[in-house]
Chains A and B, each alone.
Chain A
Amino acid sequence: MSIFVDEKTKVVVQGATGHQGRFHIGEMLSFGTKVVAGVTPNKAGEEVHNIPVFDNTMDAVSETDANTSLILVPAKFAKDAVFEALDAGVKTVVVITEHIPFHDAMEFVHYAKYKDAVLIGPNCPGIASPGKTKVGILPGSIFLEGDVGVASRSGTLTYEIVNSLSEKGIGQSTCVGLGGDPIIGMTFIDALDAFEKDKKTRAVVLVGEIGGTAEEDAAEYIAGHIKKPVFGFIAGRVAPPGKRMGHAGAIITRGKGTANSKIKAFEEAGVKLAFFPNEIAELIKKYS
């Protein structure tokens, strides 16, 4: 099994005809993803890798039964695109776009909840279930089918960790990038809950970083609800307060969001923490 996406996932890509859209539709198709439609206003009738392009998401969904949308449109148009996807009835929306004003994200995260849809991102690399599908821009080459679930606030660091797992023969059930923004849809708690219920997943890796309290919230949830072993990594131990460390959400404000606070919370919840990214694989071998 896998969480949130699987063989039944049918993807519509919003922002399909740009350079990124074309490239990643190709990458997803070669990973085995069922990409069924693209959307770019005023480009109906075109094709990208033989996938039909529609003017709007409503048309794309009614023609192709797409149930998942991948948002690759520029930040200025992202809110509109997410609302459009949710109104068209897709049940999972993955928002890759970076630099979306967080007030926009706040609105579409709550609208997704109202529509009972899963929203992943923004500013995330997407989600992949090796052997089944990927919706996003994660590099297909790093994955190995297996039984470890990964949820992360970071992109490249996640690739690094997943790659080192795969090299050591530890495969993944699903890997989800939650996004580096201060406001994101899916949280560690949502991912943990799904991994706990997923029969295929036997252990979970959480990759956190400074800023906010997502890791502290997750630690509390783990202590009360999660029986599977959880492994962790926290980036930003030496980040100075008040500086935004590359991600909009990676900032220590008013003493909140420090790596120390997250490390302490994880340790108290029994999460095994790695100091270097490539140590996660060894920890998993040792403890699960």
Chain B
Amino acid sequence: MKLLEYQGKQLFENYNIPVPKGIVIEDENDIAGLHFPCILKAQVPVGGRGKAGGIKSAESIEDAKEKISELLDMNIKGFPVRKVLVEEKVDVKKELYLSVSLDRSRRTPILMISNEGGVDIESVADELIFKELVNPLIGIQQFHIRRIISKLKLDKENEKEVAGVISKIYKLFRDYDCELVEINPLIISSKGGVVALDSKVIINDDALYRHSDIVSENEELTPLEKEAKEKGIAFIQLDGNIGVIANGAGLTMATLDALIYYNGHAGVFLDLGGTDDPEKVKQAFELMKKAKPRVILLNLFGGITKCDTVARGVKAVISKEGIDCPVIARIKGMNEDIAKNILKDAGLITAESLQDAAKISCDMAGD
């Protein structure tokens, strides 16, 4: 789950990482106690908001009121702005980049730091980003910090402060099951201290159950994706017009890929997982229908999951509620013959191979 900037900064404050003084505003008429000049930042869970006009500065109450109202009317990359973070302006002497994330290959947290802060880190040359891996069994030690910080060539006072922030964000990363804790920029102010001007914190969804203090304000999902998530179904809406239902993430992806061979495009990725529970199959089909694909392609491999059980679930939904688009089914594995007969009986088109099924789906979905 991606936290909004202000939520990340609240966590930073809990860990004694300095952040600018600020307040969160949801209504432009509710702005008592601001100090000027100040910075107004739209709270959305996407990058590039500065370029999209989501960050402004204000010199007076009237100015702030007008600009906050503008921000609250904005929609940035599909995300409506519901909150604005208003912060005091900080004079910047130097901008650093600092993050802790996951090195999947080494299976460890990785610290990254750079003198090239304040810009998109992907645009920074690799040799300008310094990295340190931390074995999670020993955790962060002074030698890690000494080693990485010496590369920045800061003066002693700043070095000490940045070192403090490094050990604090590592602790935050581990305590809150984070995928990413990023401060970009971490600035050295003209008065001397370090301040986290921005925050990007992503928490591992699988660990949210142990962080009940974190409230989701993330609106990244479409309404149907949200509904699917609540029902525990892996469901993603895409740009095409073919709805793909398969069992297993890899097989569902492979089915999506098969479509491009015949110039077709998936509109829905729906992974049934290891289930043959008729109720789950029913829910999955109902969701798929709501997404209004032109064609549905069902690709099943029955191993432990029995093909005929899934087929019975599919038939039950279709014969009870009807379906207004063609359904092409490719069924393989345990009890496939019984399953094919059940599905033919329900009016589905059955195909022998994934290639055939993909080709028929693309032909029928084409204009």
Q: Which residues of A contact B (CB under 8 A)?
A: 27, 75-76, 99-107, 109-111, 114, 137-139, 141-142, 152-160, 163, 180, 182-184, 187, 207, 209-214, 217, 233, 235-240, 243, 245-250, 254-255, 259, 275-278
Name the A residues within 8 Å of B122 (CB-CB). Answer: 254-255
CB neighbours of A247 from chain B (8 A)? 249-250
Contact partner, B105, options A104, A152, A154, A213, Cβ 8 Å: A213
Proximity bits, B261-290, A CB within 8 Å = 1, else 0: 100011001010110000000000000000
- A237/B252 contact (C-beta < 8 A), A138-B303, A163-B301, A183-B102 known: no
- B210 surroundings in chain A (CB, below 8 A): 101
Question: Other than the known A101-B210, A157-B254, A235-B254, what 10 A-B pairs have Cβ atoms closer than 8 Å?
Answer: A27-B304, A102-B206, A106-B136, A142-B333, A154-B250, A157-B253, A183-B104, A209-B250, A238-B265, A276-B258
In the bound complex, residues from chain A placing their C-beta under 8 Å from that of B246 are 156
Q: How far is the CB of B355 from chain A (nearest CB, A)?
A: 6
Q: Report yes or no: B204 in contact with A101, Cβ–Cβ below 8 A.
A: yes
- Give the residue of B135, B261, B265, B334 whose beta carbon is less than 8 angstroms from that of A141: B334
Chain A residues positioned under 8 Å from B355 (CB to CB):
276, 278
* 4 smallest beta-carbon distances between A and B, as pairs: A154-B250, A156-B248, A246-B249, A139-B303
Pairs A–B under 8 Å by Cβ, sample size 6 = A103-B174, A105-B107, A156-B274, A160-B332, A276-B261, A276-B354
Bound complex: CA of A184 vs CA of B105, how far in Å? Answer: 9
- A232 CB to closest chain B CB (Å) equals 13
B148: which A residues are within 8 A, CB to CB? none
Taking CB atoms, residues of chain B closer than 8 Å to A254 are 121-122
With a cutoff of 8 Å between Cβ atoms, the chain A residues found around residue B108 in the complex are 106, 110
Q: Does B364 contact A (CB under 8 A)?
A: no
> Does residue B10 face the partner (Cβ distance < 8 Å to A)?
no
Complexed CA–CA distance, A240 and B268 (Å): 12
> In the complex, A99 Cα to B274 Cα: how many Å?
14
Taking the closest CB of chain B, its distance from the CB of A145, in whole angstroms, is 18
- A213 and B104 contacting across the interface, CB-CB below 8 Å: yes
Task: State which of A107, A156, A158, A237 has its C-beta within 8 Å of the C-beta of B136.
Answer: A107
Residue picked from A142, A158, A159, A278, most chain B C-beta under 10 Å:
A159
- Distance in angstroms between the alpha carbons of A139 and B205 in the assembled complex: 29
The chain B residue sitting closest to A99, CB to CB, is B206
Q: Does B209 contact A (CB under 8 A)?
A: yes
Chain A's closest residue to B272 (CB) is A156
* Chain B residues, Cβ within 8 Å of A99: 206
Let me know if A250 and B209 touch, CB within 8 A: no
Assuming A75-B206, A101-B204, is B248 touching A157 (CB within 8 A)? yes
Which residues of chain A come closer than 8 Å to B247, judged between CB atoms? 156
The one of B105, B236, B334 in contact with A139, judged by C-beta atoms closer than 8 angstroms, is B334
| A282 to B: closest C-beta gap in Å | 12
Give a binary string over B72-101; 1 marks a CB under 8 Å from any A CB, 0 the rest. Answer: 000000000000000000000000000000
Residues of B within 8 A of A217 (CB): 105
The closest CB in chain A to the CB of B258 belongs to A276
- Find A156's partner among B107, B137, B179, B301 (CB 8 Å cutoff): B301
**Contact (A154, B248) CB under 8 Å given A238-B256, A255-B122:** yes
Considering the chains assembled together, what is the distance between the CA atoms of A277 and B303 in angstroms?
Answer: 16
Chain A nearest CB: distance from B35 CB in Å?
A: 36
Given the interface pairs A154-B248, A243-B236, A250-B249, the reply to whether A238 lies near B304 with Cβ below 8 Å is no
**Nearest CB of chain B from residue A237's CB, rounded to whole Å:** 4
Nearest residue, chain B, Cβ from A107:
B136
